[in-house]
């Protein structure tokens, strides 16, 4: 067997067998297959796709490319993962909510790439927060406090780390077999017993329409079931950013506000839906509507916010920033973006907002770029809002004046304002359970 033959097979749209897939994953992870050969195969997979069997084999090979955590001593660990989005601060809010029900949260999260944000960059906006714990510290934290969230620093699914970085630079991200294997290999390696997936759908997501999102969800659920990890997929709307804040410390501040009861409607709906299924899978409540009420109760009685502080402090984060969010460093320039006409906001393209946020320094254009935690966007008006000409639509938070002006202009153009209101958008599009 050699890599040229494997590339040629997929190039010619033939099915790869288990041994061929394993050969590729093992030898690429070890450095025996060059990036240019892996790039050729990945692009052939992107173009010609993979069937269920091939995707499952790819996932399992990637999961076994490194260590597999055994978290069985912690009880039923329910993991959650999103396929990516803009303003997606769900993990920051949901992890402590779930832990407040004594359901262990042991989660490995990623950094942002391209126009989508990443939980680890957001957590690092909290001064002192350590994302690179050892396995022992990670498990110890979950045992002691019921929660720990770390970066991809352990030797878990190293094949995904390499393949994800490669896909990003060769424009091979939006592919059902490649996304499914990337996410599910990490979930299997990280040792969760049950999985809830937030499959985002819309212009700010990798899946642009519902049909593709459904196919992705079904593929991941199928892999989860085969790996004996019950999996539920919630397809959510990502046609506009989630919540008000886009940018790292701005999203931490929005998360704190949420846990103190100040909730944007779209974030609330997504949190309640995902959270209720996590509670159900953990065996702590079979009724989804009742679980939603229980979540609201743990926010109201302060338990979720207390858990957030315990979690952050156990990983070295300075909790005084959560108690007084005014302590977060502010961007040098905070510029309002004004409505050019009166009417209703009918569109606020999530991908374009994500690109503006990235241009401001909240994300990386090159992989080695340094993040500026304090920059980003606050969206005062979202789709459906009635606005008057001259009213403030949003604020740009930037450290450079000319960049602030340039990006404010861009954001103004992203807002589409029409005379008539469109139908109210749905935040939860479908559940595949």
Which parts of this chain interact with ligand URA (CB under 6 A)? Answer: 83-84, 110, 164, 178-179, 182-183
For ligand URA, which residue has the nearest CB?
A: 182
Looking at beta carbons only, is 84 or 376 nearer to ligand URA? 84
Known catalytic membership, residue 182: yes
The residues near 320 (Cβ < 8 Å, ≥ 6 apart) are: 327
Q: Which residues, at least 6 apart from 56, have a Cβ–Cβ distance to it below 8 Å?
A: 222, 223, 226
Reference 251, options 406, 97, 118; nearest CA is: 118
CB 323 within 8 A of CB 212: no
Find the catalytic residue in 122, 162, 186, 194: 186
Which position among 161, 162, 167, 280 bears the catalytic label?
167
- State in angstroms the smallest separation of the CB of 372 from ligand URA: 23
Our answer to whether residue 186 is catalytic in this structure is: yes
Nearer to ligand URA, 156 or 179 (CB): 179
Residue 81 designated active-site: yes
- From the CB of 81, what's the least distance to ligand URA, in Å? 7
Cβ proximity of 23 and 144 under 8 Å: no
Measured from the CB atom, is 110 or 373 closer to ligand URA? 110
Please state the closest distance from residue 58 (CB atom) to ligand URA, in A.
12
Which entry of 10, 80, 81, 194 is annotated as an active-site residue? 81
Shortest distance (Å) from residue 84 CB to ligand URA: 5
CB nearer to ligand URA: give 182 or 357.
182
Q: How far apart are CA 120 and CA 15, in angstroms?
A: 36
Which CB atom, from 50 or from 398, has the smaller least distance to ligand URA?
A: 50
- Give the torsion sign (CA, 140, 225, 427, 356): positive
Catalytic residue among 182, 185, 314, 357: 182
Q: Which two tokens stand for residue 178?
A: 């490649």
- Catalytic residue of the set 160, 187, 314, 397: 160
The residues that bridge with 245 in the sheet, in sequence order, are: 378
Tokens describing residue 151: 């970066």
Nearest approach, Cβ of residue 311 and ligand URA (Å): 22
Question: DSSP string spanning 7-63?
Answer: HHHHHTTPPPPHHHHHHHHHHHHHT-S-HHHHHHHHHHHHHH---HHHHHHHHHHHH
Which residues belong to the active site? 81, 160, 167, 182, 186
């Amino acid at each position: 067997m050699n890599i040229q033959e494997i590339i040629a097979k997929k190039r010619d749209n033939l099915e790869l067998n288990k041994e061929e897939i394993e050969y590729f994953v093992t030898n690429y992870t070890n450095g025996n297959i060059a990036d240019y050969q892996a790039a050729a195969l990945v692009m052939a997979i992107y173009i010609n796709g993979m069937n269920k069997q091939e995707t499952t084999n790819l996932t399992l090979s990637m999961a076994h490319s490194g260590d597999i955590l055994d978290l069985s001593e912690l009880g039923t660990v329910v993991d959650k993962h999103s396929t990516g989005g803009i303003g997606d601060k769900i993990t920051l809010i949901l992890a402590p909510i779930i832990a407040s029900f004594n359901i262990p949260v042991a989660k490995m999260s990623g950094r942002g790439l391209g126009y989508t944000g990443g939980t680890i960059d957001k957590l690092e906006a909290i001064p002192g927060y350590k994302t690179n714990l050892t396995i022992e510290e990670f498990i110890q934290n979950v045992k002691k406090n019921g929660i720990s969230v770390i970066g991809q620093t352990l030797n878990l699914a190293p094949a995904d780390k390499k393949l994800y970085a490669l896909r990003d630079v060769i424009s091979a991200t939006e592919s059902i077999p490649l996304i499914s294997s990337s996410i599910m290999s990490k979930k299997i390696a990280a040792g969760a017993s049950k999985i809830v997936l937030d499959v985002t759908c819309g212009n700010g997501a990798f899946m642009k329409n519902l049909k593709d999102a459904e196919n992705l969800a079904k593929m991941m659920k199928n892999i989860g079931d085969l790996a004996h990890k019950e999996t539920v997929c919630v397809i959510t709307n990502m046609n506009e950013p989630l919540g008000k804040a886009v940018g790292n410390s701005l999203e931490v501040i929005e998360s704190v506000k949420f846990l103190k009861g100040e909730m944007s409607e779209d974030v609330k709906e997504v949190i309640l839906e995902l959270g209720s299924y996590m509670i159900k899978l953990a065996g702590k409540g079979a009724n989804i509507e009742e679980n939603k009420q229980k979540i609201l109760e743990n926010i109201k009685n302060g338990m979720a916010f207390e858990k957030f502080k315990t979690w952050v402090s156990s990983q070295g984060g300075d909790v005084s920033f959560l108690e007084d969010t005014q302590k977060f460093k502010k961007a040098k320039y905070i510029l309002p973006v004004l409505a050019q006409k009166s009417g209703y906001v009918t569109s606020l393209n999530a991908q374009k907002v994500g690109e503006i946020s990235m241009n401001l320094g909240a994300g990386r254009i090159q992989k080695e770029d340094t993040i500026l935690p304090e920059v980003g966007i606050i969206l005062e008006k979202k789709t459906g809002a009635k606005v008057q000409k001259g009213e403030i639509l949003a604020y740009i938070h930037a450290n450079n004046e000319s960049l602030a002006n340039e990006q404010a202009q861009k954001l103004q153009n992203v807002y589409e304002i029409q005379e008539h209101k469109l139908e109210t958008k749905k935040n939860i599009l479908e559940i595949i359970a």
